Structure 1
């Protein structure tokens, strides 16, 4: 691991040196001679800000040395000037990078990355002072002219320009990176919510089954008492049944507790706006339709400024209804999800352009096992999706029903009292 980290740092250092040398050739010489203003320092400044893993002082030393050797090599290779003259012309540039890096290190410039204005001003000051150092070195080695007020202002202007250019570029890349991380985070949250929705369904019916198990335990025990009173030979069997059902109920309670912990995951908001919830359902089922190779347009409309804590209950219901619509549409069609607030009820309407539900079969749709969907091998679906949905809606004191076709589209409507949507999420 240490060797890999070292190779990565060396690669970054090489990239910074190469980029600085390359952009350093994009230059102007406003005061004549070999003194230049280039984009090289902007690239170098950006590299120090972005690649925080590389040591500042070593980066500056190697970059300054590399720039000096690169420019002397260019002069010698293209015969621009004699070797010693080239050394005298470009050695001060190395001192510029040495000075820039030392000041960058002493002022702890990386600590101001979250404060662009301060960082830009610090960078401009470091650039200006480093230019002054370079000019002093040039005056020592050559007959470089003294600094005038015009040159002074020019150094200041270019320092501000290059510094804020590098800071702006750094912030632009940082914002893009944050957006990318935010999108990944949002996708992860959506995935967790959909997983929790499935867990919610299982927990909902597990709790319902536990109620039945409690009733069976009680009835079995009462049967045992009656048989025991009449001295029936099967009384021990009735007691064993009661005890076994009681153990199953205890196991179910443990499973329910585990599922509850999974659903209440940290990082998931306790409430979600209805509008975001509808968008999540539409986006998830759009992907589902694409996975099935269907060309389905899913539209949703919600102008309700209301948040709900019943996230998984609503997601479960709406996801079931919209997914059923996706599966019912042969190859192409349209689905609408509309939300309205009518009096003290929130009304969800799901419409699809599928083949519809025959009138004589509508009363059977919500019965467990009823289905019109078969896979490629002719196996029937479980037929419990709408049963699940209706059970959850009824637990919220709402209703789920089929309405007469609207715009030649199958129409299912969910009505839930608003006070139920603001209650505590349960499983």
Structure 2
């Protein structure tokens, strides 16, 4: 209720204010002003307001507002001022009535139609006002020239209000679209993290399957040799089997979340790389580093392996961000090489010693420590290489002559275009 009252007050004040930006084309008190443009825009924008009540209150307020101005500025007698401005109230009464009957607000997706309706209603309302003025003896007889002027100004004010409304709506839609895009990017990043967890869970399930099989085989061997400890092997196999079933349920839940509705099943590789760049720009800003990011993509294709690529590229670019001391640059480049798509991640950080380049992909290898001196897990590159291998590709370090860190990811094009995910 308070919101509606606030909207109503805005419309009345705006209409009164812009109503004083006027011309008097025929002499007397009749005016062309921007007040009706403001009123029409308010009716279109604040669609929760009832049209008839808004028109009645606005018309009454306009009449009282103008009478008050006359009394304060020109010291006009109240009755004379009321006679001059009362016909304006009838204009707003008739305008809101005709807008209500025409149901103009139901056709807002057709701006031209709404503009024509508004122009027609404006002209008809002007005719009502002029008729009332003639009853009060305040207006001469209409001529063809005055009618054409009424039509012109009616169309001008109507299309101005409709154009302003559509301009605001376009800005609003763009703002909503940007927020939606940010939400989708955030959701993709969350899904990428979940994909990494699901990837490891799937690997663990294969190990659990192997452990279950070996435990059961041990049980049968012990049973055949009449070993009294055979039941323990069976007990282990049963418990591992239960853990495997729980893992399957977790994997099914993660898969459902990752493949949730609202996200496209494929994404242009250029857009995917831009997503990686934007995410790591924010990461670099968060940890207080000045890093220039560059991206070149010569591949005009889309991929369905979104989370796989995001996991790999985010890992490599984030590692580059962390490796650069305080300022530097990172480049992400994509090219076609025969039947492969090749991703290059380069940075001008301190680099990786040549003798350690074969160790960086081993689990537990790390050069990163937190403020307390605790080492990182050292499984990021191992994880990235595992994903690339699952796509039948290769991840390695390029031995450039320049002092750069250069990771190269090579994946067959058909693996990135296939519909099913490795998950």
Runs of 4+ in structure 1 over 4 Å off: none
8 A Cα contact 2:84 2:138, kept in partner: no
1:182 to 152, 177, 182: 177
Q: Does 1:66 align with 2:61?
A: yes
Gaps of 5+ in 2: none
Aligned to 1:170: 165
Match of 1:372 among 367, 376, 391: 367
Structure 1 distance, partners of 2:213, 2:207, is: 10
More off after superposition, 74-83 vs 246-255 = 74-83
1:425 aligns with 2:400: no
Matched with 2:335 is 340
- What is the alpha-carbon distance in structure 1 between the residues aligned to residue 111 and residue 366 of structure 2? 61
Q: Which residues of structure 1 form unaligned runs of 5+?
A: 1-5
Task: Work out whether residues 345 and 408 of structure 2, in 8 Å CA contact, stay in contact via their aligned partners in 1.
Answer: yes
Match of 1:241 in 2: 236
Offset at residue 376 of structure 1 (A): 1.3
Q: Bigger shift: 397-406 or 171-180?
A: 397-406
Deviation at 1:405, TM superposition (A): 2.8
User: SS in structure 2 opposite 1:405?
Assistant: coil
Select the residue among 311, 314, 338 that pairs with 2:309: 314
User: What is the distance in 2 between the residues matched to 1:162 and 1:47?
Assistant: 13
Shift of 1:426: 3.8
Partner Cα separation in structure 2 for residue 108 and residue 80 of structure 1: 41
Separation in 2, partners of 1:408, 1:38: 71
Q: 1:270 aligns with which of 259, 265, 271?
A: 265
Given that residues 28 and 138 in structure 2 are in contact (C-alpha distance below 8 angstroms), is that contact kept between their aligned partners in structure 1?
A: no
CA shift digits 1:149-196 (9 cap, x unpaired): 111111011011101110110001000000000000000000110000
Aligned to 1:3: none
Deviation at residue 80 of structure 1 after TM alignment = 4.2
Equivalences for 1:37-56 in 2 at 5 Å?
A: 37-56=32-51
Aligned pairs for 1:250-265 (under 5 A) are: 250-265=245-260
Query: CA separation in 2, counterparts of 1:305 and 1:150?
Result: 61
* Offset of residue 406 of structure 1: 5.7
**Which among 274, 280, 288 is matched to residue 283 of structure 2?**
288
Q: Which whole-Å CA distance do the structure 1 matches of 2:48 and 2:400 have between them?
A: 63
Does structure 2 conserve the Cα–Cα contact (< 8 Å) formed by 1:120 and 1:167? Answer: yes
What is the number of equivalent residue pairs in this alignment?
Answer: 422
1:327 Cα deviation from its structure 2 partner: 0.4
For 2:155, the equivalent position in structure 1 comes to 160
Equivalents in 1 of 2:383, 2:41: separation in Å? 56
TM-score normalised by length of structure 1: 0.98
- Equivalent residue number for residue 120 of structure 1: 115
1:205 maps onto 2:212 in alignment: no
User: Greater shift after overlay, 397-406 or 254-263?
Assistant: 397-406
Following the alignment from structure 2 to structure 1, what is the Cα–Cα distance between the partners of residues 74 and 278? 64
For residues 100 and 108 of structure 1, the distance between their equivalents in structure 2, rounded to whole angstroms, comes to 12
User: What TM-score, normalized by structure 2, do the two folds share?
Assistant: 0.99
Query: Aligned ranges for residues 97-112 of structure 1 at < 5 Å?
Result: 97-112=92-107
Helix, strand or coil at the partner of 1:333? strand
Spell out the pairing of 1:318-329 with structure 2 (5 A cutoff): 318-329=313-324
Instruction: Give the Cα–Cα distance (whole angstroms) in 1 for the partners of residues 193 and 334 of structure 2.
Output: 23
Matches of 1:380 and 1:332 in 2, distance apart? 23
1:221 aligns with 2:210: no
Give the C-alpha shift of residue 77 in structure 1: 1.6
The two structures, once aligned, show a CA RMSD in angstroms of 0.8
More moved, 78-87 vs 379-388:
78-87
Secondary structure at 1:299's aligned position in 2? strand
Q: Tell me which of 1, 6, 16 is aligned to 1:21.
A: 16
Q: Note if 1:331 corresponds to 2:326.
A: yes
